[in-house]
Structure 1
């Protein structure tokens, strides 16, 4: 089976560029934007050799996994475009629900209690299954002519394999017993993106996206530690605010809002969030 878009999104003008192997789907998408591409372009591959995660970390896409980037070109606020990561998380979780048979995935977050969903969203950009990282999402942007900017919404999913040498649990669909290939998952993802992006509505529907995201939130109400520039803030994961920032209630009852940081739940949070 080859990569293809869902018919619903083809009708909306989305296009597809598929590769056997790439350096980085995000880098390619931003190259296309600088060359004048109008956006609504998906770039996909089953192997990515120089992908990146947050803060410049390496994110390898091994053969048979999914590396997918959607190029969005807009004149809106960059601050609002940054919330597309939450749209991406919801779209991927919906796609996974659609293609993975029920009963195959049992979710339980690492020390934060039993999960309510088979696939949960960890702030700000991970999708978890059985408490382990299944997918990472990375947004990158580039300024363009005419007051426009391009946003590369990168989504990497461990379909058939996952890295072993990580400081946190990771997994793949194959390791979880799900028989799904990258092409099937992408077909469902392209469809689910259309639905969730329509709800987001250029940021006008962010309240609805936030509410949907919270229903899938990993660790909500549980013990949490957030590492911010070398410091660790501890407390209870209370919510995300109207701008999708992480909100912690500390032991004194004070609400602390976090715009960026590394989140650790349950036993890891208690141990020190190394």
Structure 2
């Protein structure tokens, strides 16, 4: 499921890049957010499970704020309209995203998951960005240090250690 989230994030970022002006500063925030100027423009929610016959399934829900956006101080958001941009037609955006999802699914089958992780990291916030990850046992603050080969978040801690995180809510700032 985490792999599908990263793959979808890359596909959506590529689709949006064709619709946004150069220099807008779109990047991916682990594990599943698309961010412009520190504000969430969209995201991916992956659900997965196993059927009674043992067959695994996964589905990705994709959302992009075109005309409006939620007003939440904890998770600042934006939209095409709030950025002063003309929003694309939903079907135009959906077509662009589906095209990139198909392309990345094929690439993953040929080149493996490492290609997705590498592409995701090229679109991520800069290494060294201060982040806080909310975990059930309490927050972890440090600096973004990339992704592990399986897509887990790597956080560089003040004491020089690197913490590997497989699930948590990431916020800008330390």
TM > 0.5 fold call: yes
Q: Secondary structure at the match of 2:59?
A: strand
Q: Would you say the 8 A contact 1:99–1:184 is kept in 2?
A: no
Q: Secondary structure at the match of 1:142?
A: strand
Query: What are the equivalent positions in structure 2 for 1:31-180 lying under 5 Å apart?
Result: 81-100=1-20, 102-103=21-22, 106=24, 118-179=25-86, 180=88
Which segments of structure 1 move beyond 3 Å, counting only runs of 4 or more? none
Name stretches of at least 5 consecutive residues in structure 2 with no aligned partner: none
Q: Would you say the 8 A contact 1:239–1:248 is kept in 2?
A: yes
Considering only CA atoms, is the larger Rg found in Structure 1 or Structure 2?
A: 1
- Partners of 2:19 and 2:129 lie apart in 1 by 29
TM-score normalised over the length of structure 1: 0.59
- Cα distance per residue 1:29-73 (max 9 Å; x no partner): xxxxxxxxxxxxxxxxxxxxxxxxxxxxxxxxxxxxxxxxxxxxx
Q: Would you say the 8 A contact 1:225–1:234 is kept in 2?
A: yes
Cα offset, 1:160, TM superposition: 0.9
Segment of structure 1 superposing worse, 181-190 or 84-93: 181-190
RMSD between aligned residues = 1.8
Q: Count the aligned residue pairs.
A: 173
Cα offset, 1:144, TM superposition: 2.2
Q: Would you say the 8 A contact 2:2–2:151 is kept in 1?
A: no
Cα offset, 1:192, TM superposition: 0.8
Aligned: 1:187 with 2:107: no
Segment of structure 1 superposing worse, 144-153 or 88-97: 144-153
- Partners of 1:125 and 1:208 lie apart in 2 by 17
Aligned: 1:264 with 2:168: no
Name stretches of at least 5 consecutive residues in structure 1 with no aligned partner: 1-80, 107-117, 270-274
Q: Would you say the 8 A contact 2:133–2:139 is kept in 1?
A: yes
Cα offset, 1:149, TM superposition: 2.0
TM-score normalised over the length of structure 2: 0.91
- Partners of 2:47 and 2:122 lie apart in 1 by 26
